[in-house]
């Protein structure tokens, strides 16, 4: 179970690093929505909300995996 959690965290870390590396490219899109969010610095709010939602889902799945593992162990012992 720890190996699975470690590999999951490692996968998330590598995914995050690749997203950061991709985010360093300069955005040349000129759309009204893109210009609005960038001019008012709302893009950081959107990214922050998305990160919070993503972390909530990940924590929920980790908690659910632990609960299922405990139920499997309890069922195996009976």
What is the reported pLDDT for 44? 79
Domain ranges of the chain: 1-23+40-76
Which one, of 67, 76, 47, 62, lies nearest residue 11 by Cα?
A: 62
What tens digit of pLDDT does each residue of 27-78 get?
A: 566 777 667 766 777 777 888 889 999 999 999 999 999 999 999 999 998 8
Higher-pLDDT residue of 22 and 48 is 48
What is the reported pLDDT for 48? 86
Return the H-helix or E-strand segment holding 30: none
What is the reported pLDDT for 24? 54
Kindly report whether the global pTM for this prediction surpasses the value 0.75. Answer: no
Inter-residue contact 76 to 67 (CB < 8 Å): no
């Amino acid at each position: 179970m720890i190996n699975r959690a470690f590999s999951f965290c490692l996968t998330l870390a590598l995914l995050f690093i690749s997203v950061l590396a991709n985010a360093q490219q300069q955005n040349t899109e000129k759309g009204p929505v893109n210009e609005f969010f960038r001019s008012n610095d709302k893009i950081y709010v959107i990214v922050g909300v998305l990160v919070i939602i993503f972390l909530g889902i990940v924590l929920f799945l980790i908690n659910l995996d632990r609960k299922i593992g405990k139920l499997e162990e309890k069922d195996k012992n009976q």
